[in-house]
Amino acid sequence: MQGRDLARRAVSRRGFMRNGALALIGTSVIPSFLVRSVMAEVTTAAANKKKLVVIFQRGAADGLNVVVPYQEKNYYAMRPSIAIQKNQVLDLDGFFGLHPSLASFKPLYDQGHLAIVHAVGSTDTTRSHFDAQDYMESGTPGVKVTQDGWLNRALQNGPVEGKASAFRAVALGSQVPRTLQGKLPAIAVSNLADFSVGGKGPQTSPISNAFQAMYDESSDSMLHGTGQETFEAVRMLKAADPAHYQPAAGVDYPKSPFGNNLKQIAQLMKADLGVEAAFSDIGGWDTHQNQGAANGQLANRLKEFSDSIAAFWKDMGPEAENLTLVTMSEFGRTARQNGTGGTDHGHANVMFVLGGGVRGGKVYGKWPGLANEQLNEGRDLTVTTDFRNVLGEAAYKTLGARNMDAVFPGAQVRPAQFLNFV
């Protein structure tokens, strides 16, 4: 009893849910499962087996050096020391080419699984990382009072089919991101191996044992009942044996936090735990200084980014046919390099869409050009595709979200305007 009391004091009910390895976020500061049952309240469209993965590149990736418009003369004039040379790009269509560090993306593009959307971004012109990320995750550019995230709303607007798994919406990290916050409960998992639940011995997680003790001894019947359902989800996770997961043959994830996150998403999805939407992010894109060209800071980040996603795709095997993965970043970077060998905050950017149903092997979107007179405010790539149109198509065709006005209020996203990459 003394050990159990110590565990309970160390992990408070609310503190564990907010900051532990597993967090659930609902409509208010208090997690929604404290108010109602996750499993009974939420319905799911999981019967179609389709899954959406969203990747956020935090820090504003330099889209012009990620997918290079190598036939634009002004590209080289504006970037004398950081441009990717024509003989270095991985050619896509005779005009655009991938940064050489994205070599693991090239086969996916050639096989028709990977689509690219260029000159995409937000209608809001802010150059603030915080505001731009908030606007993209809420799906309401320029509106700071939005309480929930676009992906949570998309899941709410999908078809109703049976009971939900507690793992329906999952983020890899210590807290549920803005993208997934809302009425529909979402889980944040920082490390699946922390949930070797129950039993005794060195493999038992102190966190999960305290979690179980907290509910076993609870005198709060409402907390006890809903907590038991959540704990059953943790038991489901235990059955997947996270500590001993082996990726598919030949799959080698990068030994990095992002690589590990995608490995864990693959594990959750392959364990058939009812995941419909998953989120992860990767930082390090704010390249104000010493950005590098074919080698250097950006190149290293791009290799980790693409190698992790390619490993995830291969690891999913036949189940990749039901998968759509979308990448995004809050804005691009200036067309001209700055005086310290880097780039400053810009506007339009590039998004990748990977999936079994994706019409890949193509760069989508209207290219605005890089002539001086074509630049936004005389300094940035101009936005020609609203990012909500890309996310809307992914949510519409993967999750079955039909009410785009509810998912992206005020945006007038319509299926007739989709780029038809899925």
As a whole number of angstroms, the distance between CA 205 and CA 297 comes to 37
Q: Exposed, middle or buried, 251 (CB in 10 Å: 0-12/13-18/19+)?
A: middle
Q: How far apart are the first and last CA of the chain?
A: 56
Q: Regarding predicted confidence, which is higher, 198 or 257?
A: 257
What band does 203 get if pLDDT is binned at 50, 70 and 90? very low
Query: Does 287 have pLDDT greater than 70?
Result: yes
Average pLDDT for 248-265: 97
Q: Give the max Cα distance, the chain.
A: 74
What band does 327 get if pLDDT is binned at 50, 70 and 90? very high
Average pLDDT for 312-317: 98
Neighbours of 283 (CB within 10 A): 12
As a whole number of angstroms, the distance between CA 192 and CA 261 comes to 10
What band does 205 get if pLDDT is binned at 50, 70 and 90? low
Q: In the structure encoding, which two tokens stand for residue 185, read together?
A: 């409960």
As a whole number of angstroms, the distance between CA 138 and CA 15 comes to 25
Query: Does 9 have pLDDT greater than 60?
Result: no
Query: Does 140 have pLDDT greater than 70?
Result: yes
Q: In the structure encoding, which two tokens stand for residue 401, read together?
A: 């979200």
Query: Does 392 have pLDDT greater than 90?
Result: yes
Q: For residue 104, what are the CA distances in angstroms to 86, 196, 249?
A: 19, 34, 17
Average pLDDT for 329-347: 98
Average pLDDT, the chain: 84
As a whole number of angstroms, the distance between CA 246 and CA 119 comes to 38
Lowest-pLDDT choice from 1-15, 63-77, 220-234, 281-295: 1-15
Query: Does 163 have pLDDT greater than 50?
Result: yes
- pLDDT of 206 reads 52
Residue 28 DSSP class: S
* Secondary structure (3-state) at 69: strand
pLDDT digits (tens, 9 = 90+) for 258-284: 999 999 999 999 988 889 999 999 999
Q: Given the DSSP bridges, would you call strands 349-355 and 67-69 parallel, antiparallel or unpaired?
A: unpaired
Q: In the structure encoding, which two tokens stand for residue 156, read together?
A: 């709410």
Query: Does 15 have pLDDT greater than 50?
Result: no
Q: Given the DSSP bridges, would you call strands 323-329 and 362-364 parallel, antiparallel or unpaired?
A: unpaired
- pLDDT of 209 reads 55
- pLDDT of 38 reads 32
Whether the CB-CB separation of 102 and 302 falls below 8 Å is answered with: yes
Query: Does 31 have pLDDT greater than 50?
Result: no
Q: In the structure encoding, which two tokens stand for residue 359, read together?
A: 């019409």
- pLDDT of 213 reads 56
C-alpha angle 337-120-342 in degrees, rounded to nearest 5: 15
As a whole number of angstroms, the distance between CA 280 and CA 267 comes to 14
Average pLDDT for 288-309: 98
pLDDT digits (tens, 9 = 90+) for 103-122: 999 999 999 999 999 999 99
Nearest residue to 220 via CA among 232, 209, 231, 228: 228
C-alpha angle 315-316-317 in degrees, rounded to nearest 5: 90
C-alpha angle 356-162-17 in degrees, rounded to nearest 5: 85
CA 231 to the chain's CA centroid: 25
Q: How does DSSP assign 73-94, residue by residue?
A: HHHHHH-TTTPPPTTTSEESSS
Lowest-pLDDT choice from 21-25, 81-85, 263-267: 21-25
Q: How does DSSP assign 24-90, residue by residue?
A: EE-SSSS-GGGTS-HHHH-B--GGG--EEEEEEETT---HHHHEEETT-HHHHHH-TTTPPPTTTSE
Return the C-alpha torsion angle 281, 283, 381, 357, nearest 10: -30
What band does 193 get if pLDDT is binned at 50, 70 and 90? confident
- pLDDT of 160 reads 61
- pLDDT of 241 reads 75
Percentage, residues of the chain above pLDDT 70: 78
Residues ≥6 apart with Cβ < 8 Å to 173: 188, 189, 190, 261, 280, 281
CA 375 to the chain's CA centroid: 29
Could you tell me the residue ranges of all domains in the chain?
2-417
Q: In the structure encoding, which two tokens stand for residue 218, read together?
A: 């609870």
Query: Does 51 have pLDDT greater than 80?
Result: yes
Q: Given the DSSP bridges, would you call strands 362-364 and 22-25 parallel, antiparallel or unpaired?
A: unpaired
Q: Given the DSSP bridges, would you call strands 96-98 and 67-69 parallel, antiparallel or unpaired?
A: antiparallel
Lowest-pLDDT choice from 204-218, 304-318, 335-349, 408-422: 204-218
Q: For residue 114, what are the CA distances in angstroms to 16, 75, 86, 194, 221?
A: 39, 24, 22, 34, 49
